[in-house]
């Protein structure tokens, strides 16, 4: 471990503060899923992923990460800033004119750490597969990680990709699903049930593991365990239970905060629950 669990939890707390402040600052964006995945991003970037902050698009010899559900950009931007890809002061420009921190992640403005645009859902797994194929051709043994929303799995392209990866034995691919059971119009069970994602992915030939995405110990151990499963002919799916809005009591567990910004009073309430650990931007 590069950090103690407590240290990682402190980083996640700061990232959560950044998320609500960023979304409040432009009065738009997606706080719910961002907060729910703050622990995953912390574990990934501060414990698991092997990368250079001197960003190179080709990422030769580095682990790569692709965010497929691009609307949770605030959590990624804050994580990248604290990991050293760019100065955290830039977080104040989120969703504002002339910013590199677009509403949804993009390579277009040259923000370090991002390798493909996402936002229109369902495309990230295919891109990650392509990157993993190129690593295989290049003899590059590093890993390719992704994150997907659970509602996002309603997009058909995911299942084209889910069929492809095991068939081609892409066993350096570690995909995680933000399994919070919520989407814009309500619970996934009511909008279009995903039923058993574990059974679906296992039937497609994936090695599925389950983690608690809001328990730092569970997610760190889960991602390390996922790495030990690589090289065995199967891609790995981390089915990661989370709470939308995790860390802010009034946002938790409801789809209401999928894409709504807090007002001044709500911001103050949220920040009171999230200790400032690394210094606000």
The residues of the shown chain that bind other proteins, judged by CB under 8 A, are 57-60, 64, 66, 106-108, 115-120, 122-135, 137-138, 140, 156-157, 160-161, 163-164, 168
Tell which residue, 236, 254, 70, has the closest CA to residue 169. Answer: 236
Q: Cβ of residue 120: shortest distance to other proteins, in angstroms?
A: 5
Cβ distance to other proteins smaller for residue 24 or 135: 135
How far is it, in rounded angstroms, from Cα 230 to Cα 234? 7
Backbone angles phi, psi at 145, to 5 degrees: -110, 150
| Identity of the residue, 25 or 105, whose beta carbon is nearer to other proteins in the bound complex | 105
> For residue 150, what are the β-bridge partners?
none
Q: For residue 212, what is the enclosing H or E element?
A: strand 207-212
Q: Report, in Å, the least distance between residue 79 CB and other proteins.
A: 20
CA distance 23 to 263: 10
Q: How far is the CB of 115 from other proteins (least distance, A)?
A: 5
Nearer to other proteins by C-beta: 172 or 180? 172
User: Closest approach of Cβ 159 to other proteins, in Å?
Assistant: 9
Q: Residue 153 and residue 148: Cα distance in Å, rounded?
A: 7
Residue 103 gets which letter from DSSP?
S
CB of 107 to other proteins, least distance (A): 5
Minimum CB distance to other proteins smaller for 133 or for 194: 133
β pairing state of 64-67 and 207-212: unpaired
Nearer to other proteins, 57 or 203 (CB): 57
């Amino acid at each position: 471990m590069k950090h103690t669990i407590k240290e990682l939890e402190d980083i996640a707390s700061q990232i959560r503060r950044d998320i609500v402040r960023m979304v409040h600052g432009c009065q738009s964006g997606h706080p719910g899923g961002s907060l729910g995945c703050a622990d995953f991003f912390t574990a990934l970037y501060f414990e698991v992923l092997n990368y250079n902050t001197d960003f190179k698009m080709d990422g030769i010899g580095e682990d790569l990460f692709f965010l497929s559900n691009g609307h949770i950009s605030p959590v990624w931007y804050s994580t990248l800033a604290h990991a050293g890809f760019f100065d955290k002061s830039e977080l104040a420009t989120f969703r504002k004119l002339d910013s590199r921190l677009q509403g949804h992640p993009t390579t277009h403005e040259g923000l370090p750490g991002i390798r493909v645009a996402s936002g229109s859902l369902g495309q990230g797994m295919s891109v990650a597969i392509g990157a993993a194929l190129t690593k295989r051709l290049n003899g590059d043994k590093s890993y390719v990680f992704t994150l997907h929303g659970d509602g996002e799995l309603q997009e058909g392209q995911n299942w084209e990709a889910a069929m492809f990866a095991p068939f081609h034995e892409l066993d350096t691919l570690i995909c995680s699903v933000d399994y919070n059971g919520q989407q814009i119009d309500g619970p996934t069970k009511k909008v279009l049930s995903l039923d058993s994602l574990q059974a679906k992915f296992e039937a497609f030939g994936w090695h599925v593991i389950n983690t608690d995405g809001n328990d730092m110990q569970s997610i760190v151990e889960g991602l390390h365990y996922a790495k030990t499963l690589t090289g065995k002919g199967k891609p790995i799916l981390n089915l990661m239970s989370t709470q939308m809005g995790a860390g802010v009591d009034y946002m938790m567990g409801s789809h209401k905060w999928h894409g709504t910004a807090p007002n001044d009073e709500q911001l103050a309430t949220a920040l009171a629950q999230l200790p400032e650990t690394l210094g606000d931007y």
